[in-house]
């Protein structure tokens, strides 16, 4: 296997983030650090519309009539990522600027108002192509900012957000672009909700904030959430040429699949263990050098046990010293956006040297057997972290992040400006 270290590094220079606990990157991160939950009981109208009693939604207004919520969230976080990275679009070759935003469910609400003719009853509803195309937000964001490099939009269930970040990095690596915007969004959708209800995987609790309980013996499923995250990714020389600030390097990444079952996982976790091992090998990181893992951590018994087993198989004795947490305990499960939102949180954990907690973990499942950071996060100066996504359909992805270090960097100034 050729190590990615033999290629020019791909680095993260900007992050945009929104979720149920905050409208921007730093407010979301502060809430996650403090263990605040965005899960709440929904009103009767929401319950009738979407079929769920508790959720972790994002409140936002469309920026233009008929704009679907996914696009609103993507535009909001894209602007924040560009500002964070100090991107001046007028000074960058936009033909070399890629855009990779995951596919999403369409806004099918208009179907309820169709009278069978070619006209919708409400002019404010999105046109049909925005109702159904899963790449709607990718196209809208790329067109809005004039990004004319490669456009990529994967639909790989809960791994989508992570896989599109990886795909953008590969397009930079194979010289189709120098810089890219990458990420994903998620909005609660009645079809998703109906499917999860039929699977009986949605959590319930008298106190909504305590419903999501990854790795806890009393878990009973996950909570649906909303949010988005966007990254500015660049080849190192491009970032250096414009004096960018760097969060971290995408040190290694891999995706693979297991042909086990559409929703069930291999209980022996051979595939996940192999994924983690090859990702670390790609990054040239030894198991004992992994200080933090942001787990997929859905709060279902199957996922928690299989994922923890895969981590232990891959890391061996080092697993006992590795911090692992699931931020779905606060943000809910963001499905298509889970990978990108949780990668953003992992990046910020590296930046600040702080591993976020797993909330509601009051009775850790002994079958898990890992340090899942119950209830209170921990200060921990870190250089290497791993983000894992495990999705329906057998999609699995992992990204190894290396915190950016140079002579000027320390934890008092976590994002040093690098020399041009």
The neighbouring-strand residues paired with 97 are 179
Contacts of 116 (CB under 8 A, 6+ apart): none
Residue 256: burial class (beta carbons within 10 Å; 0-12, 13-18, 19+): middle
Bridge partners, residue 100, by sequence: 152, 182
Would you list the DSSP string of 35-89? T----EEPPHHHHHHHS-SEEB------SSTT--HHHHHHHHHHHHHHHHTT--G
DSSP string, 85-101: TT--GGGS-GGGEEEEE
Tokens of 358: 């797993």
Structure-token match 């290497």, residue found: 384
Q: Which residues contact 17 (CB under 8 A, 6 or more apart)?
A: 24, 25, 28, 29, 77, 80, 227, 228, 229, 230, 341, 344, 345
Task: Say which of 104, 189, 238, 333 is annotated catalytic.
Answer: 333
- C-alpha distances in Å from residue 349, one per residue of 63, 286, 344, 345, 387: 31, 20, 9, 6, 11
SS3 13: strand
Q: Give me the half-sphere count of Cα atoms (radius 13 Å) on the Cβ side of residue 316.
A: 5
Task: Say which of 104, 238, 296, 395 is annotated catalytic.
Answer: 296
Q: Is 19 exposed, middle or buried (0-12, 13-18, 19+ CB in 10 A)?
A: buried
């003719």: which residue's tokens? 117
Selected catalytic residue, list 74, 99, 138, 158 = 158
As a whole number of angstroms, the distance between CA 326 and CA 359 comes to: 8
260 is catalytic: no
90 close to 143: Cβ distance less than 8 angstroms: no
Active site residue ranges? 158, 296, 333
């Amino acid at each position: 296997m050729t190590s990615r270290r033999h290629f020019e590094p791909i680095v993260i220079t900007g992050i945009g983030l929104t979720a149920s606990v905050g409208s921007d990157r730093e407010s979301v991160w502060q809430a996650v650090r403090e263990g605040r939950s965005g899960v709440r009981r929904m009103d009767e109208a929401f319950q009738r519309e979407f079929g769920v009693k508790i959720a972790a939604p994002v409140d936002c207004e469309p920026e233009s009539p008929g704009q679907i919520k996914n696009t609103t969230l993507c535009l909001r976080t894209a602007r924040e990522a560009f500002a964070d990275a100090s991107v001046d679009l007028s000074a960058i070759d936009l033909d070399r600027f890629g855009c990779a935003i995951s596919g999403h469910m369409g806004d099918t609400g208009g179907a309820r108002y169709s009278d069978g003719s070619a006209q919708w009853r409400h002019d404010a509803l999105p046109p049909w192509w925005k109702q159904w195309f899963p790449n709607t937000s990718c196209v809208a964001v790329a067109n809005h900012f004039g990004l004319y490099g490669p456009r990529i939009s994967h639909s790989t269930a809960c791994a989508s957000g992570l896989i599109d970040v990886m795909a953008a990095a590969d397009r930079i690596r194979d010289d189709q672009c120098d810089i890219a915007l990458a990420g994903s969004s998620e909005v609660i959708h009645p079809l998703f909700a109906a499917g999860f209800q039929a699977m009986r995987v949605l959590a319930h609790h008298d106190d909504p904030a305590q419903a999501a309980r990854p790795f806890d013996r009393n878990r009973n499923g996950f909570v649906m959430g909303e949010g988005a995250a966007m990254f500015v990714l660049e080849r190192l020389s491009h970032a250096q040429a414009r004096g960018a600030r760097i969060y971290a390097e995408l040190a290694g990444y891999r995706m693979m699949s297991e042909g086990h079952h559409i929703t069930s996982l291999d209980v022996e976790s051979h595939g996940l263990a192999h994924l983690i091992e090859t990702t670390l090998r790609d990054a040239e990181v030894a198991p004992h050098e992994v200080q933090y893992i942001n787990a997929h951590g859905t709060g279902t018994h199957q996922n928690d046990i299989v994922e923890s087993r895969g981590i232990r198989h891959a890391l061996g004795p080092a697993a006992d010293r590795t911090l692992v947490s699931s931020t779905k305990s606060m943000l809910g499960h963001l499905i298509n956006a889970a990978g990108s939102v949780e990668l953003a949180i992992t990046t910020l954990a590296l930046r600040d040297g702080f591993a976020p907690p797993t909330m509601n973990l009051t009775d850790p499942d002994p079958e898990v057997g890992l340090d899942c950071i119950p209830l209170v996060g921990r200060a921990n100066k870190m250089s290497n972290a791993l983000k894992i996504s495990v999705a329906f359909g057998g999609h699995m992805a992992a990204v190894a992040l290396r915190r950016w270090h140079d002579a000027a960097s320390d934890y008092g100034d976590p994002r040093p400006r690098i020399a041009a």
